[in-house]
């Protein structure tokens, strides 16, 4: 594995773990509000991000590289509302998409076809992540942030579970 790719993958592993940490902070915000379903949704998001980090981690070692763990930045916790949390989620996912796109550009530049193949899965995943956040934003705007609408959405989001993709799908 080229050093440039190994270094970029280490940065991405850190970014994925930060994402997990951020979603756990958001889950804590919702737990504090008594919105168990919203909190559960964020905890599932935490698990997904850790899965992503470990997918990159495994790839590094499959290709003969080395993982170097760095400090994880402290996430913010100043959330203003349910809607604000999901707007922040969407913006964060757009940022992660830009990181994945940058990795793909590097993989093309370095002619690393195995890395490109791995990143194709992540590109598809980011489309899903952004779409999911946007749909929740749309529902919050439709239902409102108080009363029965937010209660119903809390119930819906609480049904989400983390199911890692099957070996051939991941």
Mean pLDDT of the chain: 94
**Contact (CB, 8 A) for 13 and 53:** yes
- 23 close to 45: Cβ distance less than 8 angstroms: yes
Cα angle 146-152-154, degrees, rounded to a multiple of 5: 80
Determine, yes or no, domain membership for 59: yes
Number of folded domains that form the chain: 1
DSSP notation for 97-125: HHHHHHHHHHHHHTT-HHHHHHHHHHHHH
Instruction: For residue 75, report the phi and psi dihedrals to the nearest 5 degrees.
Output: -75, 155
CATH number at residue 62: 1.20.1260.10
Q: Is residue 165 part of a domain?
A: no
In a domain, 167, yes or no: no
Is residue 59 pLDDT above 70, yes or no?
Answer: yes
Neighbour tally for 141: CB within 10 Å:
12
Q: How confident is the model at residue 148 (pLDDT cuts 50, 70, 90)?
A: confident
In a domain, 163, yes or no: no
- pTM comes to 0.92
| Within-domain flag for 21 | yes
CB atoms within 10 A of CB 51: 16
Structural domain of residue 60, as residue ranges?
A: 3-157
| 168 in any annotated domain | no
Which of 83, 70, 96, 98 lies closest to 26, judged by CA? 83
Average pLDDT over residues 21-30: 97
pLDDT-derived band at 163 (thresholds 50, 70, 90) equals: confident
Q: Helices (DSSP H) in 34-147: which residue ranges? A: 36-62, 82-109, 113-143
Determine the average pLDDT of the residues in 95-102.
Answer: 98
């Amino acid at each position: 594995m080229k050093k440039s790719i190994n270094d970029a993958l280490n940065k991405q592993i850190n970014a994925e773990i930060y994402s997990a940490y951020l979603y756990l902070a958001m889950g804590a915000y919702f737990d504090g509000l008594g919105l168990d379903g919203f909190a559960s949704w964020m905890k599932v998001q935490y698990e997904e991000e850790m899965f992503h980090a470990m997918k990159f981690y495994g790839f590094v070692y499959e290709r003969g590289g080395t993982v170097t763990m760095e400090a994880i930045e402290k996430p913010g916790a100043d959330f203003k509302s349910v809607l604000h949390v999901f707007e922040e989620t969407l913006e964060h996912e757009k940022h992660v998409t830009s990181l994945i796109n940058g990795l793909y550009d590097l993989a093309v530049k370095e002619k690393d076809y195995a890395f490109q193949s791995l990143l194709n899965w992540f590109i598809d995943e980011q489309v899903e992540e952004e779409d999911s956040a946007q749909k929740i934003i749309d529902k919050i705007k439709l239902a409102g942030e108080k009363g029965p609408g937010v209660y119903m959405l809390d119930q819906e989001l609480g049904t989400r579970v983390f199911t890692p993709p099957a070996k051939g799908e991941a």
